[in-house]
């Protein structure tokens, strides 16, 4: 080796080493028992953080609102939430962007022996509703009842709002006739013999929206994404690969089962099946048009308190990203 070549290698070696060990850091906030934790755990368990030089700072949140506050204050770089909130923030001047994470929505559950066969049977019944009066699942169910049966569920059912664990318990105690539940709690009920009357996808089809809609997504500031494009890219690749492993590799799934806090194998299988059914397979112009139609329905039924003053969904809330990259 000539002396000149040796000196050149000595000069380039630190630069090459630095390029190989560039770390992509991301501070993400997730709910303590949210299903996003399964994915983040799979990233670590399957070595995807090392593969993509990803360093995750996972902040456990006590509530969805805590994540939104943390993102707005700059204490977090990413959370998982719905695009309606992003649209509201956009109207207020914020620069948040949304990348789809899951098509999961709620499900309307009833006891196996219930005489409730359709939403037309709900008037006069005790209905539990996870979330508040402006929960999207509730607003869309109301819109469907109005469209198909000219029934105003807001005035004709005995409503009980609350958190999913509490309402699930009331359902099992026979205190509710029906429960509009989050998907993973609905899966638990179904595994225990309760009947799914309809789910969020069926509600959308009844409202003439055929596309599977990404309700939840990764949300971040666009300015951060522009300045940290490689960090975002590394995370999205790792999370996508982790999601695929959870659905295709039994070993990967077995390693996250403790996070479900379920020992019943039937419930574990139901959770995995429903989780994998919610994986976003397409995200393009048809889906964005569907989001715009859903926004109009939510605004008509839920009013400005839910959607804000904008009559149309701001198009620029969706961050340009190709699935499968």
Distance set, CA 63 to CA 76, 113, 167, 184, 251 (Å): 14, 34, 17, 17, 30
What is the tens place of the pLDDT at every residue in 66-83? 999 999 999 999 999 999
Contact assessment for residue 195 and residue 108, using Cβ atoms and an 8 Å cutoff: no
> Is residue 60 included in any domain, yes or no?
yes
How far is Cα 82 from Cα 102, in angstroms, rounded to an integer?
Answer: 10
Q: Do 105 and 137 contact (CB within 8 A), yes or no? A: yes
Residue 8 within any structural domain of the chain = no
Whether residues 260 and 289 fall in one domain:
yes
Q: How far is CA 5 from CA 1, 45, 140, 315, in A?
A: 7, 42, 69, 54
Neighbouring CB atoms inside 10 A of 114's CB total 15
Domain that holds residue 125: 107-206
pLDDT tens track of the chain, all 325 residues?
Answer: 455 545 444 455 444 444 455 899 999 999 887 789 999 999 999 999 999 999 999 999 988 899 999 999 999 999 999 999 999 999 888 999 999 999 988 899 999 999 999 999 999 999 999 988 888 999 999 999 999 999 999 999 999 999 899 999 999 999 999 999 999 899 999 999 999 999 999 999 999 999 888 889 999 999 999 999 999 999 999 999 999 999 999 999 999 999 999 999 999 999 999 999 999 988 889 999 999 999 999 999 988 888 888 889 987 899 987 665 4
Residue 28 is assigned to a structural domain of this protein: yes
* Burial class of 314 by CB neighbour count within 10 A (0 to 12, 13 to 18, 19+): middle
Is 2 inside any structural domain?
Answer: no
**Assigned domain for 4 exists:** no
Residue 66 falls inside a structural domain: yes
Whether the CB-CB separation of 187 and 270 falls below 8 Å is answered with yes
Find where tokens 């690969």 sit.
241
pLDDT (0 to 100) of residue 7: 47
Instruction: From 191, 206, 221, give the residue that closes a domain.
Output: 206
Q: Is residue 1 part of a domain?
A: no
pLDDT digits over 147-176, tens only? 999 999 999 999 999 989 999 999 999 999
What CATH number corresponds to the domain at position 158?
3.40.190.10
Q: What is the dihedral of CA 33, 37, 38, 41, to 10 degrees?
A: -130
């Amino acid at each position: 080796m000539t002396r000149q070549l040796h000196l050149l290698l000595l000069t380039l070696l630190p630069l090459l080493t630095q390029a190989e060990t560039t770390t992509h850091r991301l501070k993400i906030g997730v709910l303590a028992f949210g299903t996003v934790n399964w994915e983040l755990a799979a990233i670590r368990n399957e070595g995807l953080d090392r593969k993509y030089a990803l360093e995750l700072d996972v902040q456990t949140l006590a509530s969805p609102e805590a994540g939104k506050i943390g993102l707005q204050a700059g204490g977090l770089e990413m959370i998982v939430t719905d695009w309606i909130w992003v649209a509201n923030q956009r109207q207020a001047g914020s620069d948040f962007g949304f990348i789809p994470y899951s098509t999961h929505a709620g499900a309307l559950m009833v006891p196996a022996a219930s005489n409730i066969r359709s939403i037309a049977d709900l008037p006069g019944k005790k209905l539990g509703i996870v979330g508040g009066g402006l929960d999207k699942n509730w607003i869309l169910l109301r819109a469907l009842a109005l469209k198909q049966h000219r029934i105003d569920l807001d005035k004709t059912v005995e409503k009980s709002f609350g958190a999913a664990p509490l309402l699930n318990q009331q359902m099992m105690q026979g205190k509710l006739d029906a429960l509009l539940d989050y998907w993973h709690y609905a899966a638990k009920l179904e595994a225990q013999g309760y009947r799914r009357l309809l789910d969020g996808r069926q509600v959308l089809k009844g409202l003439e929206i055929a596309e599977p809609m990404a309700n939840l997504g990764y949300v971040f500031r666009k300015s951060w994404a522009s300045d940290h494009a490689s960090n975002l890219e590394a995370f999205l690749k790792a999370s996508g690969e982790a999601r695929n492993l959870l659905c295709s590799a039994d070993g990967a799934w077995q390693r996250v089962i403790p996070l479900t806090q379920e020992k019943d194998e039937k419930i574990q299988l139901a959770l995995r099946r429903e989780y994998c059914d919610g994986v976003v397979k397409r995200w393009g112009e048809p889906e964005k048009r569907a989001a715009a139609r859903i926004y109009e329905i939510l605004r008509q039924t839920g009013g400005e308190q839910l959607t804000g003053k904008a009559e149309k969904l701001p198009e620029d809330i969706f961050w340009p990203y190709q699935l499968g990259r």
